[in-house]
Amino acid sequence: MSKQPSPTPASNALSSSIPSYLQADNLGPWGIYLQQVDRVLPYLGNLARWAETLRRPKRALIVDVPIQLDNGTVAHFEGYRVQHNTSRGPGKGGVRFHQDVTLSEVMALSAWMSIKNAAVNVPYGGAKGGIRVDPSLLSRGELERMTRRYTSEIGIIIGPTKDIPAPDVNTNEQIMAWMMDTYSMNEGATATGVVTGKPIDLGGSLGRRDATGRGVYTVGVEAARHIGLDIATSRLAVQGFGNVGGVAARLFAQAGARVVAVQDHGGTIYREAGLDVPSLLAHVAQAGTVAGFLQAEVLANDLFWDVDCDILIPAALEQQITHENAGRIKARMVIEGANGPTTPQADDILQERKILVLPDVIANAGGVTVSYFEWVQDFSSFFWSEDEINARLVRIMKEAFAGVWEVAQDNKVTLRTATFIVACKRILHARELRGLYP
């Protein structure tokens, strides 16, 4: 029997003036984003007059998602779609199904999508969506009904030229197929471009599934070259072992790196000589977690942050690296596969310890880059080979990273601040050129 998770209140209002999420111990995702914006203001020049644009989502929609459960009862779930900024193009960002989804989180994720899309210079604004639900408590039929009702509820603001959802935490190709079909039925015409991350047979792109992890690997290799780190002799610790962490681990291992520790929702495993990544990926595909993998020893979850490694890849959820554990990290480089995994306080600690942080807004932009390719292919009904997709992705990621690295060196700032400088200037310049209407 399915049961509805108990609701939790959506946190934080839209105004940037409420002190509660400016408190150091209670920032929340939106508060973290606001601090990041504050740090970039001195570098915006005349564009700073438009900076308030960055602090206010363009549009936030909260919807009720009622469905009939398999047992005949009716359950209600709360859903969100936030469009942070559309100055450079239609909104773009994923949809997550998770029991801890809040308005603050979705607002922040939509804002980070604005930054990310501008950083790699794809013609999108930022958006994000989610439903507060534990999808593991739903049957397949219930999951489909919830997805379709949510899509219908947000259908008034999404569309191929308005806002294009994509997969995120606990959503996948099948969820996107249901969203595309629901939107198309309501429109009376097939609209493959309304979502990305679809199955190949419905207009999806080759290379999309591995794109975020491939982007993490690409910028990691570029950064390692700048700091004199040999990938072939490096040790990795990875948090999260799905499409991002698992793919990145596989690519780094193929380049000779040793993946010595992996943590996911099921536990933490360690092997000093290096984990057999293909075997671990096969185990996770079967068991759904790294727990129970016999070719490794089990670590207490908290000890993950003490693992001696060269590269740490947090590829799970937000606010994993905090002021409480940042001082324990032994890596030379942190590559943020997840969105918002490092708090501002932790960022400062890592900088003081001379640990290079490759921020999410550049490091995990591979997914949205290939989503852009998918969207373009859907409009033209002409599809590229996987080799072409990967080559285009690597080129864009390398060029974007090179630009961010140069800005960081010129201004003597972190890569995160440098990425925000590049992205915010592009967003605000577009805002300035377009002007205000009416």
Catalytic residues: 128
The per-residue DSSP string of 73-84 comes to -EEEEEEEEEEE
Locus of tokens 């630009």? 403
Rounded to 5 degrees, what angle do the CA atoms 346, 347, 351 make? 115
Strands 297-299 and 267-270: antiparallel
Give start and end residues of each alpha helix (H) in 14-77.
28-40
Listing DSSP states for 374-403 in one string gives HHHHHHHT----HHHHHHHHHHHHHHHHHH
Rounded Cα distance, 336 and 339, in Å: 7
* C-alpha span between 221 and 216 (Å, rounded): 9
Q: Is 228 exposed, middle or buried (0-12, 13-18, 19+ CB in 10 A)?
A: exposed
Residue 185, both tokens: 């039925």
Specify whether the CB–CB gap between 205 and 374 falls below 8 A. Answer: yes
Specify the 3-state DSSP secondary structure of 236: strand
356 neighbors 347 (Cβ within 8 angstroms):
no
In the sheet that holds 91-98, the strands lie side by side as 59-68, 74-85, 125-132, 91-98, 163-167
| Separation of alpha carbons 296 and 273, rounded Å | 10
Burial class (CB in 10 A: 0-12, 13-18, 19+), 211: buried
